[in-house]
């Protein structure tokens, strides 16, 4: 059996899938791609969109983190990622969808807006897990990389401010949920908690996440300030990650 994960190391949606694979004890081979250069290889695989993560299980191709988690639970039912009860399952999937649709894009817009202003910080994150010369290529072409990424993901000061607001609201909602009970749904860890932990991971930068996170002093000041302000709301999510990743 061969399981390959096409990904960017920095992708927090890929982190959902890495975590799910590790949680189920499935051996896999990561295929680390450089953003930009990924389009051709992913389109050739999926015949559709260019987004990662994409899973290849013995030639079966699945694109999208939620679809991959569905597939993993069907193909590898040990250690299920969602509860059996239909009600609880519905709640878990609703949390996941909300986080996928809101938290994922908001974190990306907010962090990249500031990190793209620091090429020395962002280039090692973008090129993580790929050959060293990609860092040189990205450095030489950085103004174009910055321009393309901002255009592609609609990143600017206004969208970063909106994303920051959205994050603040979501973090408060998650913190409130974790104050009531140890998991987002019921009394067991599920893909709802996994999604919160994986998508919010750039806010607490865990060591298991396979990228060279910047030293705290290198993090742009506006990001440092918000991380300090959100510290209490981030803490329960970091704890879920620490205890279950
Ligand atoms: N809903 C998708 C979102 C995936 C996504 O946004 N992936 C980004 C990286 S974090 C990507 O591949 N962007 C490049 C592209 O779409 O070509 C999922 O859950 O997998």
Torsion sign (Cα): 26, 189, 14, 50: positive
Query: Which atom, in ligand 1's list, is nearest to the CA of 68?
Result: 20
Q: Which residue's CA is minimally distant from atom 11 of ligand 1?
A: 51
Angle (CA) 209-105-14 rounded to 5° is: 35
**CB-based contacts of 67: which residues, under 8 Å, 6+ apart?**
none
The arithmetic mean of pLDDT across residues 148-175, rounded, is 98
Percent of the chain with pLDDT strictly greater than 70: 100
How far apart are the CA of 104 and the centre of ligand 1, in A? 9
Q: Does domain 86-244 have CATH number 1.10.8.60?
A: no
The whole-angstrom separation of Cα 80 and Cα 84 is: 9
- Give pLDDT tens digits for 38-86: 999 999 999 999 999 999 999 999 999 999 999 999 999 999 999 999 9
Average pLDDT in the chain: 97
For residue 47 the two structure tokens come to 């015949």
Nearest to 145 by CA among 171, 115, 175, 168: 115
**All structural domains of the chain with their residue ranges:** 3-75, 86-244
Query: Which atom, in ligand 1's list, is nearest to the CA of 39?
Result: 17
Angle formed by the axes of helices 119-126 and 142-152, nearest 10°: 70
- What's the whole-model pTM score? 0.97
pLDDT at 214: 97
Nearest to 194 by CA among 82, 29, 87: 82
pLDDT at 142: 97
The arithmetic mean of pLDDT across residues 175-191, rounded, is 96
For residue 52 the two structure tokens come to 């990662």
Cα dist from 143 to 34, 46, 116, 117, 139, whole Å: 16, 30, 10, 10, 8
* Sheet of strand 29-32, all strands in order from the earlier edge strand to the far edge: 29-32, 3-7, 54-57, 60-63
- Give pLDDT tens digits for 190-202: 999 999 999 999 9
**Helix spans in the chain (H):** 12-23, 38-46, 65-75, 86-98, 104-115, 119-126, 133-140, 142-152, 157-180, 191-204, 221-229, 231-244
- Give pLDDT tens digits for 116-143: 999 999 999 999 999 999 999 999 999 9
For a ligand 1 pocket test, name from 52, 63, 96, 129 the mutation site with the most ligand atoms within 8 angstroms of its C-beta: 52
The whole-angstrom separation of Cα 202 and Cα 213 is: 9
The whole-angstrom separation of Cα 129 and Cα 46 is: 22
For a ligand 1 pocket test, name from 8, 9, 12, 13 the mutation site with the most ligand atoms within 8 angstroms of its C-beta: 13
Superfamily name with CATH number, domain 3-75: Glutaredoxin (3.40.30.10)
The whole-angstrom separation of Cα 99 and Cα 95 is: 6
The arithmetic mean of pLDDT across residues 144-170, rounded, is 97
- Give pLDDT tens digits for 14-29: 999 999 999 999 999 9
For residue 19 the two structure tokens come to 């975590």
pLDDT at 67: 98
- Give pLDDT tens digits for 102-123: 999 999 999 999 999 999 999 9
**CB-based contacts of 230: which residues, under 8 Å, 6+ apart?**
167, 168, 171, 203
Q: Are 99 and 15 in contact (CB under 8 A)?
A: no
Ligand 1 neighbours (beta carbon < 6 A):
8, 11, 13, 39, 50-53, 64-66, 100
């Amino acid at each position: 059996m061969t399981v390959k994960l096409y990904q960017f190391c920095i992708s927090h949606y890929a982190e959902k899938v890495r975590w799910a694979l590790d949680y189920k004890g499935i051996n896999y081979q990561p295929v680390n791609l450089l953003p930009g250069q990924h389009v051709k290889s992913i389109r050739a695989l999926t015949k559709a969109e260019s987004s990662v993560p994409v899973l290849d299980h013995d030639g079966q191709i699945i694109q999208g983190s939620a679809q991959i988690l569905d597939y993993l639970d069907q193909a590898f039912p040990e250690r299920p990622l969602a509860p059996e009860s239909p009600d609880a399952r519905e709640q878990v999937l609703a949390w996941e969808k909300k986080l996928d649709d809101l938290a994922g894009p908001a974190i990306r817009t907010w962090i990249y807006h500031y990190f793209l202003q620091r090429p020395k910080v962002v280039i090692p994150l973008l090129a993580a897990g790929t050959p060293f010369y990609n860092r040189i290529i990205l450095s030489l072409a950085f103004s174009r990389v910055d321009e393309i990424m901002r255009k592609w993901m609609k990143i600017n000061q206004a969208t970063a401010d909106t994303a920051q607001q959205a994050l603040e609201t979501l973090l408060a909602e998650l913190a409130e949920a974790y104050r009531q009970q140890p998991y987002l749904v019921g009394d067991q860890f599920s893909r709802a908690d996994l999604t919160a932990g994986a998508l919010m991971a750039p806010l607490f930068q865990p060591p298991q996440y396979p990228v060279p996170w910047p030293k705290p002093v290198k993090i742009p000041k506006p990001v440092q300030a918000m991380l300090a302000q959100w510290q209490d709301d981030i803490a329960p999510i970091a704890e879920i990650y620490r205890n279950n990743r």
